[in-house]
Amino acid sequence: MSLAFIQSCIADDMQKVDAVIRKSLRSDVVLINQVADYIVNSGGKRLRPALVLLSAGTFGHIQSHHHELAAVIELIHTSTLLHDDVVDESAMRRGKATANTLFGNAASVLVGDFVYSRTFQMMVNVKNMRVMEVLSEATNTIAEGEVLQLLNVHDADISDDAYLRVIHYKTAKLFEAATRLGAIICNASTEDETAMAEYGMRLGTAFQLIDDVLDLSGDSNEIGKNLGDDLAEGKPTLPLLYAMRHGNEAQSRIIRAAIEEGGLDELPAVLEAVNSTGALEHVRQLARTEAELGCTAIMHLPDSAYRQALLQLAQFAVNRSF
């Protein structure tokens, strides 16, 4: 199931979201326009804004406020990418040079601040305090997740629960906010809003788990970044932790050293250990379980093309190769 097919029921609305994004990023400052245009035109799956629309469609009519909030969600994500690439010293994203590579770290950080602050102006325009509460909580939680991830770099002794906490904060929280917002603007019941939020959290967790798998098994041309990028930065992802704990003594030692020291000198040996221990399949199964739980949370909602798209999106998240 292709992502384009899943998003086909919201194609017109996604075009309106893109229009809102481009309009919102206009500035009298030339450098802001240059960096913003580069980021927007760099592609991306646009999953998070799509979730706002699909959630809204599940509960009724998609309104102009949903376009605005979908754009807000995407711009929050964009600002985190600009900052992440500076922190991680990344050179490639989505198959292209990162903004910090082209424009420098200072420009990336400052334009990221501009994008982030612009989202708060957009939130206020919706004139809904509940929306403000959800988005302010989400952005604060994401920031906490970024700091937690920084603290965990080069830590080969991190527990699985501690690592999953980073995923929930840094990645899944914005997915949760996206699906929750669609419900809020449609005046869904508290029960249904909670169900949709759980779907978003579960989907975001599954999505990041598969990202971890692809970092150690994907095609760099498909995933748009270099294989082993997380390992090079010393990030202890779940496949690495599983392989370290279930491999033989030599494999565990190699993986531990790779996490603690960073770099890709031992990448072939690490990949062999990850594959031989079944770490990738273990994490894929965890992602499948998360996706299934997310789908279960919304199965009581009325059947529609939008709900079907959400169910298919969960399958895409765990079966994708990019």
Lowest mean pLDDT among 127-141, 223-237, 267-281: 223-237
Whether pLDDT at 319 is above 70 = yes
- What local confidence, expressed as pLDDT, does residue 85 receive? 86
CA dist., res. 194 & res. 105, Å (int): 39
Question: Measuring CA to CA, which residue among 210, 214, 216 is closest to residue 267?
Answer: 216
Amino acid 10 reads I
- What local confidence, expressed as pLDDT, does residue 84 receive? 86
Question: Measuring CA to CA, which residue among 100, 13, 2, 86 is closest to residue 45?
Answer: 2
Whether pLDDT at 143 is above 90 = yes
Q: What is the mean pLDDT of residues 245-263?
A: 95
- What local confidence, expressed as pLDDT, does residue 308 receive? 96
CA dist., res. 278 & res. 221, Å (int): 24
- What local confidence, expressed as pLDDT, does residue 290 receive? 98
Q: How many CB atoms lie within 10 A of CB 266?
A: 18
- What local confidence, expressed as pLDDT, does residue 296 receive? 98
Whether pLDDT at 49 is above 70 = yes
Q: How many CB atoms lie within 10 A of CB 284?
A: 20
Amino acid 258 reads A
Q: Are 71 and 24 in contact (CB under 8 A)?
A: yes
> Against a cut of 0.85, is the pTM above it?
yes
Question: Measuring CA to CA, which residue among 111, 190, 176, 98 is closest to residue 138?
Answer: 176
Lowest mean pLDDT among 38-42, 158-162, 163-167, 276-280: 38-42
- Both tokens of 247, joined, read 């491999």
* Confidence at 163, pLDDT banded by 50, 70, 90: very high
- Both tokens of 295, joined, read 């789908």
CA dist., res. 206 & res. 284, Å (int): 8
Lowest mean pLDDT among 3-17, 84-98, 194-208: 84-98
Whether pLDDT at 28 is above 70 = yes
Average pLDDT of the residues of the chain: 93
Q: Between 227 and 77, name the one with better pLDDT.
A: 77
DSSP secondary structure of 149-175: HHHHTT-TT--HHHHHHHHIIIIIHHH
Supply φ then ψ for residue 303, to 5 degrees.
Answer: -70, 140
Q: What is the DSSP letter of 302?
A: P
Q: Are 70 and 53 in contact (CB under 8 A)?
A: yes
